[in-house]
Amino acid sequence: MTRKEISIICKAMSDTNRLKIIEMLTQGEKCACNLLEELQVTQPTLSHHMKVLSDCGLVSSYKDGKWQHYSINCKKFKEYKDYIASITCTCCGTNSKENDVNNCCEIKK
């Protein structure tokens, strides 16, 4: 996963409604009707959020009748989680001073 892809996903996840959608979808596939009910937003607002999440690759969808059904793209979501988990802060070690501005953080490669 490239830094550009990570950046796009971070931007997509920077909205509280989209975070809630992701949390809901981690529990399994959801119909747009269920998302609308839970979020209490308008259909155009939900469509916008789902487009952002789909465009960054975190969400997949299919149409069944008049409703869209959404699910997490597990592969992309795992890649994102793995990247975030790989970021460590060396100043968080047991021998470091808390809030020491001279300590730096690094990304594991």
DSSP conformation letters of 40-51? T--HHHHHHHHH
Q: Do 91 and 105 contact (CB within 8 A), yes or no?
A: yes
How many other CB atoms are found less than 10 A from the CB of residue 9?
Answer: 21
- Give per-residue pLDDT as tens, 21-66: 999 999 999 999 999 999 999 999 999 999 999 999 999 999 999 9
What pLDDT score does 100 carry? Answer: 53
What pLDDT score does 91 carry? Answer: 72
> Across residues 82-107, what is the average pLDDT?
65
- Whether 96 has a pLDDT exceeding 50, the answer reads no
What pLDDT score does 88 carry? Answer: 81
CATH of domain 3-107: 1.10.10.10
User: Which residue type, as a one-letter code, is found at position 38?
Assistant: E
Q: pTM, whole model, 2 decimals?
A: 0.78
What pLDDT score does 1 carry? Answer: 85
What pLDDT score does 89 carry? Answer: 78
Three-state SS at 71: strand
Residues paired with 31 in a beta bridge: 69
- Whether 68 has a pLDDT exceeding 90, the answer reads yes
Tokens 């916008």 — which residue?
A: 48
What pLDDT score does 32 carry? Answer: 95
Three-state SS at 9: helix
Domain boundaries along the sequence of the chain: 3-107
